[in-house]
Structures are given as structure tokens and as C-alpha cells.
Amino acid sequence: MAKINPDFAKEIFKYGNTDFQACYNCGNCTAVCSLSDEHNSFPRKMVRASVLGLEKNIQSSLDPWLCYYCGECSTTCPRGANPGELMMSLRRYLTASYDWTGLSKKFYTSKISELIAIFIFSALILVLFIFYHGPMDTTLTEQGGVKLNTFAPWKTIEIGDWIMAGLLSFFLITNVFNMFLKVIIKDKTVKIPLKLYFTELWKLIFHFATQWQFRKCNTKDDKPSDVKKTLTYWIMHWLLMSSYITLFTMIVGFLWWFQTDEIHNWWHPQRLLGYYSTLGLTIGIIYFSINRIKKDIEKSKFSHYTDWTFLVLLFLTTISGILVHLFRINGMPYATYYMYVFHLMVLFPMLMIEVPFSKWSHLAYRPFSIYFNNLKIAARKEE
Ligand code: SF4
Ligand code: SF4
């Protein structure tokens, strides 16, 4: 018999803001959802499971990840139960349930815990710089730039980047593995043949690279303005994601090329990639912040405090990165050095909290959920 958690509603309320208990099970939400199909029928089933407190069923379900929060279900719900926001809350809840360290749950359910973690990670960077920074050379290079690599040699910073990337990968991979155990291994209704893991792999890569499901978040009855909104949202989301991945790749894999004292021409690939990423992040941050302030699309009507922490940390990381660049090429040594330390003091907590335990982890869980879901569908067809 399915195990019931009578306190589940109280628990899920910490992850979002929805009156899902008002649901009277009419099914309108599932009928209008453009992403629900014969293999995965949602969100009504998830609303029902939440009302009944069927925690284990929810933890082993992929449905919350297959929802891209177009909000159609919430606007259609006759009871104002806001199923779209419930699906969002369940994604946060699932992120916490995959995380074996318990940190994700702490960050999602306690503002104080998240603030303390940010403070600790920032303080760690500050202490490391206080004790180990290089000389604050105020002489400039022949091109008139700051000698940043004297103050913070890229070889030393790179070691820190690798340690950080190793930790992030370890936590994220083990959490994804935990997801795999819950949704594939514990599902006794289907057995996945080994070859499918390989033949379906391209879907994981495709959906990670394109976030294509956002494009499908429209019904045939949608007005052109709604279709345009969906397209804009998808482009913005993709811009933010690709900018972040480009920057992350450069700081972890190519710091020797990215952090130079030499000032390249503006059209040099190093600068162009830097400009693409910072511009993409800036546009994305402005777009998503305006949406959250104006609350004019369904998915931005409610903001969990972690949505704002993410945007604020990302904004501070981006703006400080832009300032480091401007101070460096304009020959302002002290401004460059202090801003560089501040940049790492926000970058480090942003990555350590958001990648394995919070918002950025959705970038992994979404394509993996599509991949796992396709494995199940393909295996059932073969049976
Ligand atoms: S439309 Fe509203 S009331 Fe009807 S099943 Fe969905 S959540 Fe429940
Ligand atoms: S928010 Fe959109 S995609 Fe998600 S369940 Fe509702 S209608 Fe479906």
C-alpha cells in the first residue's frame, strides 16, 4: 500500500506558494496542458498525489520536470489551486529529495541557512586572498593595463577552479544518480534494456543544448502574443544558459587564455566570448528580474526567495566581472584588485549553492528527466 505523509502539504508549502488543497479533481488542468500526453498525464495526478500526501509516488515521478510552467493550467483551474506553481514547488522539493547531503533542503526551506552559506563561502575566498594574494603591483603593462596575474596568478586561481569544479561535479553527479535510483531502478513496472541507454542518449544531449521543450509550451488556441511570449522566454532562457556555460568553461578549462595581462583587440575571440557571455547574462538577468517584478506572466507571479537569491548573486557576479575587465584595461590597479576579490566572493557562493543544490541544477535534472522518460517509453514499446 502506498505510504501517506499527512504533513506533506505543510512540507510542500515551504517550497512554494500554492493552494493545491482547493483542487476538486476536475481534470481541466491536464486537458489544457500542451506537454501532457498519453505517457505522462499531468498536472492533475501530481495535485492529487500532493493532496493525499503520496510522498514516495512524487519522489519517483518525472512529471514535475516535464512541466515547463507555461501556466495554462493555473489560469484554467476553476478552484484557483494554481497547479502550475505546485509543479514548480515540486521541482524544488525533488531537487532537495535527490540531494543526499541535505543542504538543498536547508537552502530551499531556510533563508538564514542560505545566507549563512553565502557568507561562509565569501569569507573563505576573502581569507584566502588576505593570506595568499600576490604583490599589488601598481606599475602598468606596456599596453597600459593592470598586471592582474601578479596579484592573482592564473595558475593558482586555476587550482582553486579545478577544486571547485570537482566538488560541483561530485555533488551534481551523485544527486543525478540518486534521481536515477528513484525514478528508474525503483520503478518495478518497467525494465530498461541496456542498449536503450545508448540509443536514447542523443535526447539527453539535444535537450540539454536546446531546452527545446520550452518551445512546445503553447496550445493551438494560443493568441500570437502568447506564442511570442513563449518564444521570447525560450530565447532568454537559452541565452542565459549558454552564456553561463561559456563563462564556466573558460574559467575552469581555459583560464590561461581567459585571464591574461595582455589587452587583446576588441575582436579577439577571448574578448568576443567574454562580451557574449556578459551581455547574455546581463540581458537575461534584466529580463527575468522585470518579469518577477511585473508578475505579468503566470510563471513569474510567485517568486520563492531562492529565485531572487539566484538573480542577485548572478547580477553581482556579472557586474563585478564587467568592472574587473574595465578597470584592468583602463589601468586602475587597486580598483582591479579589490573588484577581482569581490568578484570571486560572489562567484564562488553562487556556483557552490546554485549548481548542485538549487536553481542551476535544474539544467541537469530537466534533460535527464526527458532522457529517463524516453528510456521508459522505449522500453515499454519493446515489451
Ligand atoms: S483544474 Fe484545478 S481543480 Fe481541476 S484538477 Fe486541476 S488543479 Fe484540480
Ligand atoms: S504549467 Fe503548463 S506545462 Fe506545466 S502542467 Fe501547467 S499547463 Fe502543463
**Per-residue pLDDT tens for 268-325?**
999 999 999 999 999 999 999 999 999 988 888 999 999 999 999 999 999 999 999 9
92 by Cβ neighbours in 10 Å (0-12 / 13-18 / 19+) ranks as buried
Closest residue CA from atom 6 of ligand 1? 29
**Residue located nearest, by CA, to atom 2 of ligand 1:** 77
- Please give the number of the atom of ligand 1 that sits closest to the Cα of 83: 7
Parse the chain into domains and list their residue ranges: 8-98, 103-382
Per residue in 170-224, pLDDT tens? Answer: 999 999 999 999 999 999 999 999 999 999 999 999 999 999 988 888 766 778 8
Mean pLDDT of 89-109: 97
Cross-strand pairs, 140: 146
What residues line ligand 1, using a CB cutoff of 6 Å?
23-29, 44, 47, 77-79, 81, 83
Q: Residue 43 C-alpha to ligand 1 middle, in angstroms? A: 8
Contacts 24+ apart (CB under 8 A), 107-111: 107/306, 107/353, 107/357, 107/358, 108/14, 108/15, 108/304, 108/306, 108/358, 109/14, 109/15, 111/305
- Distance in Å, CA 86 to ligand 2 centroid: 10
In this structure, which residue's CA is closest to atom 2 in ligand 2? Answer: 70
pLDDT of residue 18: 79
The alpha carbon of 181 and the centre of ligand 2 are apart by a number of angstroms equal to 26
66 vs 91, 292, 324, 382, CA distance in Å?
10, 22, 39, 23
pTM of the model: 0.93
Backbone phi, psi, residue 224, to 5°: -55, -35
What is the model's pLDDT at position 306?
96
Using CB atoms within 10 A of its CB, is residue 367 exposed (0-12), middle (13-18) or buried (19+)? buried
State in Å: Cα 34 to ligand 2 middle: 7
Distance 199 CA to ligand 2 centre (A): 28
Q: Give the three-class secondary structure for 140.
A: strand
CA of 160 to the centre of ligand 1 (A): 49
DSSP 298: G
Is any ligand 2 atom within 6 A of the Cβ of residue 69?
A: yes
